[in-house]
Structure 1
């Protein structure tokens, strides 16, 4: 694997969990990207620095990080020697899109019980035998995460996250329109991940000038539309790989131009090639 990276990813067959990922990255740096799932992250070795919605955060071994769907983030080691992490990707409806803003405002929690429960669930997934135990542990984890998010919703925040319908300058009409335009474009991209859509086609549907469309999307989501679409395609490719499709087929299914195009973008995001990503069941 590239740079000594070690990655194991699989789908555990438990409703609500779309992927489990265990990884060791000695040097990999994640570029800015998004997921369509809630990302529940713990670090077992080292420490991680990341930008979420263009604000810097850090994650140490005593903490739990909850990254919301659709919000741009990157990632890198905070120390020499890299980091080791375990991740649960939860379906968006498990916590609800209405709580995305709270997760953007505060994505890390110092909660030993929550971290221990997540550790226990990962051990169950590694065993791969007790589905009922996994489901039981998952609902307790989700309950505690939701409690953290609801506490934040009840407290005035210093800023609001993207994807919640709330803007940093809610009194400015232009900002409100930009958010609507950006949201419509994101919906179009999400609906045609593999097929894609040209900027001109999107501009006609949204009734916005192409330049305005790109600028509005960048302001709202922190990345240009093409990078967002590439990230969504990598996400889609992950699902196909976990379903057992060969990498050569996945490139076309996920909307990449060819195998080399697919491999290059997949490795840029995840630090490993598509063939190295999924662990056969």
Structure 2
């Protein structure tokens, strides 16, 4: 590993030389499969099966998909399960950071841009992406519903407790960290080391992002692929996942908390 030169961007010089032993490349490929199999790759497979199940039951437009569901009928056991679910969903992120930390002389947080050195720039980019993707998400959802390609989405199905809103916020942040660190930061770094080209990585990351949303219908798959292309392009230029984490968290907070507070009152979810 000491002969491998570190790249400053996801598309700099490959960290695996062309003449590297096949075992090195094989090891990276196995690592990728294990990480994805423990996290969002597994979610993608389940989402595909779930979509096929739904499509063979009834038209997608007549079905409902609920997110952030209760995990127990008793309030404080539900809270406990919700917090455990959020914590353990982030374990693959810890694994990824550990694997990147093993590269000599590299700080995984700095490598991925997952730190607070540029808070105002990151917040500005995150807010801009949130505004652009938010409008796009609403448009794709409305079109998908009109075409019968998207199920009715209920973003927050938790019971109304004092801790409901904080848990929804934590859940949104969890999704932002999990998806952007693994599907963008980690995937770009590892595929870059294997010599993949910029747009190969961007498109692969985007399709993976869309795959684990297929349980919501075809519309969300298309919308998330488009979002993945935009996020991937921004990351390829900036080399930082923090703006993506911020934008993603804002999107989910708006969806989860906005629905919990206003959805039933204004007739959303129909």
TM-score band, normalised by shorter chain: under 0.3
TM-score, length basis structure 2: 0.27
Q: Which has the higher strand share?
A: 1
TM-score, length basis structure 1: 0.26
Q: Which has the higher helix share?
A: 2
Query: Which structure ranks higher in relative contact order (CA pairs < 8 Å, sequence separation ≥ 6)?
Result: 2
